[in-house]
Structure 1
């Protein structure tokens, strides 16, 4: 086991950058300083409850390397001990167990998370019933998993999400874990393709500035899309998400200058 040791004499940003450089190299590919700072801001957002989880996709680092990185940050008291690393079918996530469970529960209780059916057989995307059998079963299993993690601390290995997750639609699960107000679903037993080709999509992004030491770093905290044809139907979901994000943002002083904006894209193919 390789442990990441970093000097306490470094500045805050230098500590984050050093941890990323030591723990997250994949072959000869290390994260650049801007990438390391961006990752740091994302992890801080998870720790502050501004977002429930972070899906690590910066390079080919393994889930165990991501765990080493998180443990290094925790040992330096840069983030809390409550954050955990999940290994979900080879995908590494850093999660805030309490925040992410609360987000998944919204699917059942208050309808603040909309599920959009984008099955390839449909002429256009439609709103799905979040309590349909497949979705309800998946969300129930996910909640049981998350509740079991709440009393744990970061361990030697990433917490592996077992074989049950093989049946989950990961596109839907990632939308729930990452705190989106909308998430896509399709019947993967029939096809992994979708009906979003050449469909106008409204992309919502939320960004903020991490001001640490003498340097400021701007990063994107959220980015998700909604089919333009369904925008009116789920406008209330988007507004509730924006207001909740603003409220949480005002309760901390690590990240500043929150900006939420929208743009429209049309793509020949959309990979989910």
Structure 2
């Protein structure tokens, strides 16, 4: 039932919470993100509510702001906002440094800790490109394809959820086969009229424009590619059967408060606390 809750439903939940609790209320996109953020907040003075998506989270804050509700904020993924030059300077809406929370984690030492657990050192030594850089390069075509499909670009409305990465990954070098990737997304979306050649040319053009990969690449795609790379290229015996879910969970568990303190998002939360002295978020 939670996935059917509207922004008004969640705003009403926040109002009900406020009748018995005077501290900060932070709206989070989803329950997975909430499990990570709750490790970094002061749970006596800050409570989290999942909003079932970015649009919902922002709407909840806007609804509550209009009624003069204090001590409310949300953290959402930047997604393609920076590539689209969207102004997101709303005082109670904070965004991730990179495309999403997963890419923030991959940018941190959490990735290095995971590789210590699942990668074979001698295989890493033989590789010419560091794993983090390799993941960005491999994820860039699909990240740009997602951007191309988005409402701010060509509005292709394609379905990327549940695509099978094994159908378009190349092993040597670890990379995405753009032709097969487009076909996989096309079939997954049942958009059989999609002009594959035209889309491929558009992706190649975007690649040449050298957009920031940390803003273009989806964390989910990078985790899928990392899991594939560990299984097929640079993993140890423990990584033979790793899945995207195992890698995603391991990265989150490896990400600690010291890494979070190095982010712009952490500093944004501190600034929000300075502007709202009656309310606390961080431990």
The TM-score bracket by the shorter chain reads 0.3 to 0.5
Which structure shows the bigger proportion of residues in strand conformation? 1
Q: With CA pairs under 8 Å and 6+ residues apart, which has the higher RCO, 1 or 2? A: 2
TM-score with structure 1 length normalisation?
0.34
Which has a greater percent of helix?
2
Q: TM-score, normalised by structure 2?
A: 0.33
Question: Which has the larger Rg?
Answer: 2
